[in-house]
Structures are given as structure tokens and as C-alpha cells.
Chains A and B, each alone.
Chain A
Amino acid sequence: MNLEDKFQELKSRGEGAHMPHVYFGDPHEEFSLRLIETLAENGADILEFGIPFSDPTADGPTFQAVCERALENGVTPAKCIQGIKKLRDMGVENPIVVTTYYNIPYVAGVGNFLNKIREAGAQAIIVPNVPVEEADVLLAEGKKSGIHVIFQIAPTTTEDRLKKIADIASGFLYVINVEGVTGARESLADSTLKLVKRVRQHTDMPLLAGFGISNRQQASNVVAAGADGAIAGSCYAKIYEKNLEKPEETLPEIADLVGQIKQGCIEGYRRR
């Protein structure tokens, strides 16, 4: 299913979207496949599929450790792309958004990389270290290969940048809740809610809010504030990293959490 149809479907059902974020290959590929399948079956609408990078500077300690483990265990971009294909073969139909740092597509050749992820079954890409200023190649190649390039908006983003980003964005916009890196946090600042409202004045594009969301209430709050959905990632890794020997034993707990966060996205939408 493509992103537009997914957002349309959610709108007609009156629900906020939930996009869980997973880095592929931690602790191994087989688990990642089952993890993503579990997320898809228990509440995920869109899947954020991370390709690990050695120096993930926009990620907090949880995802840093995740990337480090995945790379130590031998995951490569090629294996990740293969993983997307396997998910499609397993019958996972949710839109898939690839996240990685720019050196990975840069070294592979940006056009070549985007073609490969599209052929494997992905619909979009997030590259956190490519701001609008450096996005020409990514945008041109994205257009050619039919991959949406997702941009981020932060509390520090000025009005004039907001406008620039809204103009070139496609798919959806990723609203960074807090000044910081990815990772589960206790509470969300009021600035989050203000930011979602601020972005809304510039665009009708779907907005997914991420960073620091780890439970039902937080998801509900950001959606109630006007976001079209919530992104959560580190909170899932925090569950399975407690049992890296047999991570599959944690899948029921993960299934429960993704269901709850999705429930928060539904409640938030109804509170609007």
C-alpha cells in the first residue's frame, strides 16, 4: 500500500497513524523480521525501517547501541534491502519508510540506492543528516525512482525554513518533538504541541511526530495536538535488548506496547 492511500484510509477511520522505528539486524536478521511482522500485526500503520550506520549522530544511546550490535553482527545495507523484500514476501503490506544516514546511499550511488529500496518494496526515505540545503541530489533521484523524501522539522526550525521544507516535502513531514536525539523520555514539553500547531499553518501534508514518544498517553497527546500520527522507536528496542539471547521471548510485550501506542493515536484523534 502506498503512503497516500494509508493516510486516506486512516482519515476515513478517524485514527492517528503509528509508525514504529526499528533498526534492522539487531541482534540478528531473523529477529528483526519477526519484530517488524509483530509490529505490523499489532498496531503499526507505517514501518520505519532503519539501515544501521556506524555513527548515528541523530540517535540517542539506545539506537547507538542497536546500530553497533547490528553492525558487529554483520548486517550490511544489502542485507537490509533484502530484508525489506523478505517482509513483502511474508505478506507485510504496510508502507515502509527507510531511514539511514547519508553516507550509506552516497557510497552506493544515491539513484542506485533509491531504486534498490523501491524494487525491494519501500515507499520513502528519511535521511536525518540531509537538510534542505543539501537535498538536491536526493530530491532529484527520489523523483526519478518514485521514492518520497521525508524531511524533518524541529523546534528550532525558523518560519522561513518551515516554508521551504513544506514546499519540497512529499509523503509526510516528520516533526521532531524535542531538541535532542531519539530516545524514550518521561514527558513531552509543551513546545511539542506548539510546534505541531505551527507547522500546521504552513501545510496540509500529514505530520508524524517523533522523538521521545514511548507510551499511549504521549502518542495520544501529540495526535490530539494536531499531528496525524506518532513515531516511536527506542521504546521497542528497550524491551528486546533486555533479552538479547532470546529476543523473540519479548515479542508479546512488544505486541502489547505497539497496540497501546496505536490506541493512543486513535484516542488522540478523537480528542481533537
Chain B
Amino acid sequence: MKKGKFGEYGGQYINEVLMPILIELEAAFEKHYPTAEFQEKLNGLLRDYAGRPTPLYYAKNFSKLVGCKIYLKREDLVCGGSHKLNNALGQALLTKEMGKSRLITETAAGQHGLATAMAGNVCELETEVFMGVKDIKRQASNVKRMKLLGAKVTPVDIGMGVLKDAVSDTLRKWTTCSQTTHYLMGSTVGPHPFPEIVATFQSVIGKEIKEQILEKEGRLPDTMVACGSGGSNALGAFRPFIKEKEVKLVFVEGGGESLESDNNAAAFQIGKPGILHGALMQVLQDENGQIKPSKTRAAGLNYPGRGPEISFLVESGRVEAHYAFDKEVFEAVKVMGRTEGLIPALETAHAIAYMVKHRQEFGEEELVVLNYSGRGDKDLEAIMRYFHES
């Protein structure tokens, strides 16, 4: 496979201004990442600052409800409340190695923006976070956290004021300052080498799962489930298992209100291959190739594209693509709260909803690992409002 391509997906569909910067980034990643010094710094931060390894928790009560044996990979316990910090720390260290002084990024749920602000402070880098005006409103608590940490939060009011628009604006901004500033891409999307870099930093999740499940159960799981849009938590969990063909991998995207056009973020259901934000991927679009806005109550899944690697894995049949509707997702939050006393992020609740909905399909002895990607504190208001209104 050509470098930066996953089948036909991926590539570097980006303007000439940024191409030399991407080449430089790829070279820096290949040079620094494998070195013992870099690994030592990264692993030290992941351990002492982020709180890794995260536990693999046997969710006894939730297992009983579904009717199989479910382990939760507790990424909600990573400092900051989600898996996003794994990648942010890695790229912030890389930024230091490249001699750049600033980070820019975009965020939807605010988790990646928060992780970037944290990693930026740890590595003494200035941070600017672009965020759609709609997301600023619905993820207010994370905006406060980012500001408290000293990050500049720049509202994006073009388009629908959501993640897609924030990514476009961050790319534009990067075009003007790429010599001094690193775009800390938060998901496995964008032009090469971003999808590779992000998946590499996130695959610490899957490596830990492998060790932990072997220790606890003496065997690999039958099924792994993760939510996603760009695919960073899913690929992080799946990557070390892609070659283990007997492990079924399930990816759950945002079904929004319904699968009708304009009512969801389900690019694997109703999207097709297209080029957006630097890469060829599965994307929601109209018949002329205009990108369509996505819609889901989970801000972190509200992106019209699926990253190149997850697009390829689904197309090739290695990963099964499913979706969960908003309604099922809110119910899943309740189920997790009542069974295990945990409040999941709305994004994570998509994976939980999948388990609840498909519980008939699992046998009692079946071993499932669900990547519990983040905690739901940021969604508390939305969750309360939903149950209050309905």
C-alpha cells in the first residue's frame, strides 16, 4: 500500500502552502517517535500525568443486562476525561522536537481542545482552539476548562458553526502560520501523516487491552466495540487486533434522529467516498460532491467524514459499521448509570447503545471489550434536558 493510503482512502489533498509542512512533519515523526528518548518522555507523561495504564473493568451488572461478559476499557479515567490526551501529549512532544512554539487545533465536544490545552501547558506551548459557535454553547463546561488553562478559544461562525467548519478554519489559519505552529489534529482524519500519527499515539489503548485481557481471561476478546466519527478511539483500540482475525471489530457512528438525509452523522450508512479536509474518505455529500452537514446530539461524533483508515477497514469488511440513534444513546447513558454507576460521554454511549440493542446476538460466554472513551460530565446538562423534556 502506498504511504499515507489505506486502499484508495487517505492521501494528501491539500494546498501547496501546507505540503512542505506535512513532509517536514512526517520526517519529524519518523525521526523522533522511535527513539528511546522520545518514548521515555511520552511514556513518562502517559503514566504520571495522564494516569495510564487505564483499567480494564469487568462490568458485571451491565454484562448481566446484556447477557455476555463485557469489559470496559476505562479511557474516561485518563486525566481530562477522555482518550484524547494520549494523542495530544504525543503530538505536543513532537511539536517541541520540531522547534515550534504554538499549537492550534479544533474541537467539537471540547475533549480534544481540553487535552490540547493540557498538553500545551505541560510542554510549554501556546494553544489556540477553534470551536464552532454551536459547540461552544452545548459544551460550555469544557470551554471554561480550556480558558482556565489559558488557551485561546476562537469561535467559528461560518457554515453551521460545528466541527466541520472549525476544521476548515483551522486549516486556513494553519496556512498562515505553519512555520511556527503545529496543527494538533485530534482525530484520525486530515492529510497524511495525520491519520497515521494519531492512530499510532492512540494505539496505546489497544496494546494495554491486549495485555490486560490476556491476564484476566487468558484469551483475546470475541468482540470489540467502539464509537467514532474520525475514528481515533476506535483505531486506538482496534489497531493491535486488526491482524487477529477471530476478533470481531464493531464501529458505532452517530445515527442522529433517523437515517434520512440531513438527520444523522452516519457516513457509513448514507455517505460515499469523497475528498474533504485533505483526504479521501467516506463522507456525507450530495450527488454533486458538496459536503453535507452532519447531525447528532453527540458533538464529538458530529463530523460528515470517516477517517481514511476506518473507511478502508469497513470497506474491506474487517470492521463492521453500525450506528445508534440519539434516543437510544440517551437511554444507554441511563442504563450505564443505573448498572455500573458511571455516566458516559454521549459519544461513548453510542457503543453502549449498540450492546443494549444487539443483546440478543451475544452468547453468555462471549467476551466483549467496549472502549469506554470518555466520561459524561460535559454532557450533563444536555442529558438532564433530554430526560426532563421527554
Contacts and interface: CB of A to CB of B under 8 A. Distances in A.
A64 interface: yes
A179 B13 CA distance: 17
Interface in A189-205: none
Contacts of A53: 289-290
B15 interface: yes
Interface in A70-96: 71, 76-78
Given A129-B14, A181-B175, A57 B277 contact: yes
Nearest to A60: B172
Interface in B274-311: 274-278, 280, 285, 287-292
A136 B175 CA distance: 24
Interface string A138-154: 00000000000001111
Interface residues of A, number: 42
Contact of B16 (A76, A77, A104, A151): A151
B274 A57 contact: no
Majority SS at the chain B contact face: loop
Contacts of A161: 16, 19-20
B172 to A, nearest CB: 5
Contacts of B39: none
Contact of A179 (B11, B175, B291, B292): B175
Contacts of B178: 156, 179
Contacts of A153: 16
A240 interface: no
Contacts of A154: 15-17, 20
A102 B275 contact: yes
A131 B16 CA distance: 6
A151 B15 CA distance: 10
Contact of B158 (A64, A130, A156, A176): A64
A103 interface: yes
B179 interface: yes
Contacts of B175: 58, 179-181
Nearest to A56: B168
A101 interface: yes
Given A55-B277, A60-B172, A179-B175, A157 B291 contact: no
B21 interface: yes
B291 to A, nearest CB: 4
B300 to A, nearest CB: 19
Interface residues of B, number: 35
Nearest to A211: B17
Contacts, number: 114
A56 B16 CA distance: 14
Contacts of A101: 275
Contacts of A186: none
A86 B313 CA distance: 45
B272 to A, nearest CB: 8
A55 B172 contact: no
Interface string B148-184: 0000000000110000100010011001111100000
A104 B289 contact: yes
Nearest to B3: A133
B371 interface: no
A8 interface: no
Contacts of A158: 20
A245 interface: no
A77 B176 contact: no
Given A108-B289, A134-B11, 15 more contacts: A55-B168, A56-B168, A58-B175, A61-B158, A107-B289, A128-B16, A133-B12, A154-B15, A156-B20, A157-B16, A161-B16, A161-B20, A165-B16, A179-B178, A181-B175
Interface of A: 53-58, 60-61, 64, 68, 71, 76-78, 101-104, 106-108, 128-131, 133-134, 151-158, 161, 165, 176, 178-181
19 contacts: A53-B289, A54-B290, A54-B291, A56-B168, A57-B277, A102-B275, A103-B289, A106-B280, A107-B288, A131-B13, A133-B19, A134-B12, A157-B19, A158-B20, A161-B16, A161-B20, A165-B16, A180-B175, A181-B172
